[in-house]
Amino acid sequence: MGIDNLPPLRDVLDRHDLQARKSLGQNFLLDLNLTAKIARQAGDLSGHDILEIGPGPGGLTRGLLAEGARRVVALEKDHRCMAALAEIADANPGRLHVAEADALDFDPASVLNAPVKVVANLPYNVGTELLIRWLTPANWPPFWDSLTLMFQREVAQRIVAEPGDKHYGRLAILANWRCDTYIAMGVPPEAFTPAPKVHSAVVHVTALPKPRYPANQKTLERVVGAAFNQRRKMLRSSLKQVHPNPEEILEIAGIKPTSRAEEISIEGFCALAQALDAK
C-alpha cells in the first residue's frame, strides 16, 4: 500500500488495461512518494479547491488528497481512466470531482470554489497553451492563487528566465509581469512510465494581486511579440512592426535604440507599451 489504502498504481494500470497513449501525451507517474512530493510543492492544500488537468490513473490525484486538499476537481479526456478515478473518489467521499472533458474546451469555473490552486502533470501537447490562457485572463487577479505544473525542463526554464538569459522571451515576460515564478524541482525521465526523451521540471507560479508595472496587456503582448520575433535585431529595427518610428517610443521609454530584446527588463517592456499607447 502507498500513501492511502488504494492498490499500487501498477496494479491499477493492469486491472484497467491502461496502456499509455502517445497521442494523449500520456507519461504516468507511478511512485506515490513522488506524487505526494509534487503535491507538497503547491504549499498548504487544506482550505483550497485544486484543479488538476489530466489525472490519468490518478497518481498525482492521490498525492493531492493525501496532502490534505479540501477538494480536487480533475479534468480527464481519456474515458479509459474513469473507472480508476471513480475508485479514488469512492475512497475519498465528497473530495474528488472528476469530469470527462477536454481541458481546452471545458471552463471549470462553475465547479470550483475559491480559493483555487492548479496542480497538474500536464499533457505536454496542451501544457503551454493552457499556461498562456491561465496567465492572460480578461481580468486580474485570475481565478487561481497558484499554479504548480510539470513541464519539459526547457519550457520550465523559459517560464522563469531573466533578462540576458538565453531562455528569456515572451513566456518569461507574460509570467513574471504579474506572478512570482520558480522551478520547484527537477524530475528525471525514468520517473515516468513510459520514460519521455527529455527531463522535466515542476514550476511554481504565484499570482500577484496586481501587475508589477502598469501596462495594457494587449499592447505589452504586441511589443514583446515584435521584439522577440526578431530577437537578434536591434529594437529600432524589430519594433517597426508596431510603430513607424520606433526611435521615438524607445526614447520616451528611456531605452537605447541599439538594445536587443533579450536585454530589456519587464519594466522596460511595460514602459515601451505605455509609450506606444500614449502615441
Q: Which residues bind ligand SAM (CB under 6 A)?
A: 24-29, 53-56, 59-60, 75-78, 81, 102-104, 121, 123, 126
- What are residue 99's DSSP bridge partners? 75
Which residue's CB atom is positioned nearest to ligand SAM? 54
Specify the DSSP class assigned to residue 241.
Answer: G
Residue whose CB is less far from ligand SAM, 77 or 158? 77
State the minimum distance, in angstroms, from the CB of residue 186 to ligand SAM: 16
- Between 200 and 219, whose beta carbon lies closer to ligand SAM? 200
Query: Whose Cβ is closer to ligand SAM: residue 20's or residue 234's?
Result: 20
C-alpha cell at 264: 530589456
> To the nearest whole angstrom, how small is the minimum distance from the Cβ of residue 169 to ligand SAM?
24
Q: Which residue number, 13 or 179, has a Cβ lying nearer to ligand SAM?
A: 13
Nearer to ligand SAM, 36 or 223 (CB): 36
Q: Which amino acid is at 96?
A: L
CA quadruple 196, 200, 202, 207: dihedral positive or negative?
negative
Residue 239: which residues within 8 A CB-CB, separation 6 or more?
A: 223, 226, 227, 246, 249, 250, 272
Q: Is 167 exposed, middle or buried (0-12, 13-18, 19+ CB in 10 A)?
A: middle
Please tell me whether residue 135 adopts helix, strand or coil conformation: helix
Handedness of CA 168, 169, 174, 177 (dihedral sign): positive
Give residue 8's identity as a one-letter amino acid code.
P
Residue 67 or 78 having the CB closest to ligand SAM? 78
Q: Least Å distance between CB 128 and ligand SAM?
A: 13
- Report, in Å, the least distance between residue 149 CB and ligand SAM: 11
* Smallest separation, CB 61 to ligand SAM (Å): 7
Cα distance between residue 67 and residue 154, in whole Å: 28
Shortest separation between residue 116's beta carbon and ligand SAM, angstroms: 17
